[in-house]
Chain A
Amino acid sequence: MATVTFDHATRVYPGTERPAVDALNLHIEDGEFLVLVGPSGCGKSTSLRMLAGLEDVNAGRILIGDRDVTDVQPKDRDIAMVFQNYALYPHMTVADNMGFALKIAGTPKAEIRQRVEEAAKILDLTEYLDRKPKALSGGQRQRVAMGRAIVRQPQVFLMDEPLSNLDAKLRVQTRTQIASLQRRLGVTTVYVTHDQTEALTMGDRIAVLKDGLLQQVGTPREMYDTPANVFVAGFIGSPAMNIGTFPVLDGYANLGRSRVPLSREVLGQLTEDDKNHITLGFRPESVDVVPAGTPDAVPVIVNIVEELGSDAFVYGSLTNEFGGAAQVHSGAGDAQVIVRVDPRQVPGKGETVAIKIRPGEQHLFHAGSGERLA
């Protein structure tokens, strides 16, 4: 087992000026499940491949434990890329399918058997060890493939979008399996995905990247509750946060006719760069539906109601009364908001509902830099 450290690790592709990964600093604890997440082109896969030894590190270094592996060949790094090739061999037994890489490496037979049996126990495959893959279910076959990586007892598991090939149902199932398996094995794992739900549900910690730059690292809860900037705020959470930029007047953020009071502390932090504006975000669940006419309430015209049983979400447009309508964006698009409502009191399509952000549940960011205001 080992820690993983990216120390100002940088990758610049030949012929490009902007680094694909720019001075990444990230320390992953021993046994931790860290998820690298971000939109396509953010540098998450490149970071993983730098750790795997598939991409050159042009500046900075990468350590596994205390060992500097920056210039070490992939096969000598003691890492395992999981799920890259998981076709099973039809004529070999499950045990041989799991252990053949050890056989190639010249591991003694008794030790191979012992490691395979240990892995099989963790994977609930013990009773199938002497059968052929044909006799297994789809899920079991996948566990055999995982077993192949486990028996090698690598220091670090690397997984690059391992679920992208699976259909939605199997994806959710396998997601849970990988997460619980990783916890049982306690092997340091770096996992890449573009899917923030996968990141939130699987990772001990999440690292969000954008344009090759690390935006924030933290537990799923930290990322959700205190996003460090507007990008993370909009990226983490589903449905996404509603975010808009508004003028600041007399100590209030002016959302058209309604106003949100700002603390003296927040006001004191505003800079010239913010041009007397503030970026304000609120999650769909951070609002209350209030009676029409309530002071400082925001009117929303209901376009669609999405009923999920335990929850219901209103996808609505802001009205002209809401001065900065065009400034607001959400998971539903520009000038739209998403609001969670009581699934037992769902408004009809076309109705107007008044909403109010719950005090203290708004997120405030510099309008200029997008950074979070304390």
Chain B
Amino acid sequence: MSPHRQRLQITAATPDPALLDLPWHIPLEEWPAETLAALPRGISRHIVRFARLSGRVIAIKEIGETVAYREYELLRQLRRLDVPSVEPVGVITGRRSPEGEPLEAVLITQHLQFSLPYRSLFSQSLRPDTATRLIDALAVLLVRLHLAGFYWGDVSLSNTLFRRDAETFAAYLVDAETGDLHERLTDGQREYDLEVARVNIIGELMDLQAGEFLEEDVDAVAIGNALAERYRELWRALTEVESFGYGERWRVQARIDRLNDLGFDVGELDITSDLDGTSVRIQPKVVESGHHSRRLMRLTGLDVGENQARRLLNDLDEYRAATDRQAEDESFVAHDWLTEVFEPAVRSIPRELRGKLEPAQIFHELLDHRWYLSQQQHRDVPLNEVAKSYVKHILPSRPDEQSILGIQPGDLRDQTDTFPAIDDDQLIG
């Protein structure tokens, strides 16, 4: 089967031999449907396809050789900087058709499980706050990228994937082709990224409106502008210099608490006082996102989204209060919460329904459902009862989000006229 004239060159950190079994001698556009995984695709200037590989799903993009290596390297660096981005798998060059015609190099990335492209989130039944939550997520991502010195060059919803993170979303960078890593970004670079983001987002929303996937009366321009505003607020909160009188030193801790609330840890805070000691200036120098997820990871070993972690930590706090163990070491209580509360709840989900949502997201929804049932029944409904009701009434109607597979055949084409809509009204049971 394998073509003779190909001399494939595979560059990958941990090469998977199964990569060799994919039909590299065929242009990506003509790959047989049985190799492909039907996933909704964003708008791309390149040919992009999803394929199954050793039980996972990979995204394959045909792209020039030098650009492919460059993007692969950039994505690796972004992972090292702990910026939410897709995981690069490798670059394959030296492809040839059986006739000896050279084919474009490909960049392979790991498909992000449970991620959702914006086109499947924006639908006719778009709730106004879904748009806001997506924009918030993108603003956080852009701030994090900029803090790390990454200039994106092509910020757009198409180049971003979203994952549910409790009641919010977390955004991941999927396309670094136009990006650059710098020691520090200039204001010009940040402003340009913001302007590109604004124009692209508005364009993408107008496109959805033109295709009648989004209602006409949604104000695309306002949503695009909201990104810039949200970004600026967050950037200021994270980097602004704050001055106050020497007697108001409590404001140092207040600033740190505020940043923690936003989900950031302060790695380094610059504190200077003037010569006569009457006023103090503080400016965060190193901020790191993931305040709550790191804390949860330390306590329980669970690796979840920032807002999922916030939710889980709240539940842990409640558990601690309810069991009257405030005086005990937090990590012991956390261990018990994990084995007595979290794990039984997640395990109570039948195996066949586990591909619907991530475990932490399911737990978050269980907590929501518990609130709903308790309100309805005017009593504290225990979690095992909640889980039964949730599995029976809510979860079965939710779409499978692990990797949106088995969609309409139309989705295999590039110009996706149809894509899976996820009804957002089902979010809260």
Contact = CB atoms under 8 A, between A and B. Distances in A.
Interface string A298-314: 00000000000000000
A89 B188 contact: no
B196 A73 contact: no
A134 interface: yes
B202 interface: yes
B206 interface: yes
A92 B192 CA distance: 25
B195 interface: yes
Interface stretch (A49-57, A181-189, A213-221, A279-287): A49-57
A74 B195 contact: yes
Interface string A218-251: 0000000000000000000000000000000000
A140 B141 CA distance: 34
Give the interface size bracket for A toward B.
20 to 34
B158 interface: yes
A165 B45 CA distance: 10
Nearest to A96: B210
A66 interface: no
A85 B191 contact: no
B208 A73 contact: no
Contacts of B202: 100, 104
B66 A13 contact: no
A281 to B, nearest CB: 30
A93 B206 CA distance: 11
B192 A167 contact: no
Contacts of A167: 64, 104
B94 to A, nearest CB: 15
Contacts of B100: none
Contact of B43 (A75, A89, A96, A103): A89
A101 B64 CA distance: 29
A66 to B, nearest CB: 21
Interface in A264-304: none
Interface string A321-344: 000000000000000000000000
B45 A86 contact: yes
Interface in B182-235: 183-184, 186-189, 191-192, 195-196, 198-200, 202-204, 206-208, 210-211, 213, 221, 224
A297 B140 CA distance: 71
B64 A89 contact: no
Contacts of B210: 89, 91-93, 96
A56 B189 CA distance: 9
A93 B156 CA distance: 20
Interface in A24-70: 52-56
Interface centre among A96, A103, A165 (most CB of B within 10 A): A165
A90 interface: yes
Contact of B188 (A53, A93, A104, A164): A53
B64 A164 contact: yes
B196 A55 contact: no
A89 B45 CA distance: 10
A335 B196 CA distance: 50
B415 A134 contact: yes
A360 interface: no
Contacts of A108: none
A172 interface: no
A52 B192 contact: yes
Contact of B207 (A52, A85, A89): A89
Given A53-B192, A54-B192, A84-B178, A89 B221 contact: no
Nearest to B225: A104
Nearest to B184: A14
Contact of A89 (B67, B151, B153, B203): B203
Interface-central residue, B44, B183, B192, by most chain A CB under 10 Å: B192
Contacts of B189: 54-55
Interface in B38-85: 43-45, 63-64, 66-67
Contact of B200 (A53, A56, A85): A85
Interface string B148-189: 000101101010000000000000000000100001101111
Residue with the highest number of chain A CB atoms closer than 10 Å, among B151, B153, B158, B188:
B188
Nearest to B151: A54
Contacts of B211: 90-91
Nearest to B220: A104
Contacts of B44: 87
A294 to B, nearest CB: 45
Interface of A: 13-15, 52-56, 73-75, 84-93, 96, 100-101, 103-104, 134, 164-167
19 contacts: A14-B184, A52-B188, A53-B192, A56-B187, A73-B188, A73-B191, A74-B191, A75-B191, A85-B154, A90-B207, A90-B415, A91-B208, A91-B211, A91-B213, A103-B206, A104-B203, A104-B224, A165-B64, A167-B104
- The 3 A-B pairs at the shortest CB distance, nearest first, are namely A91-B211, A89-B207, A91-B210
Given A89-B204, A104-B203, A167-B64, 9 more contacts: A54-B192, A73-B191, A74-B188, A74-B192, A74-B195, A91-B207, A91-B211, A92-B206, A165-B67
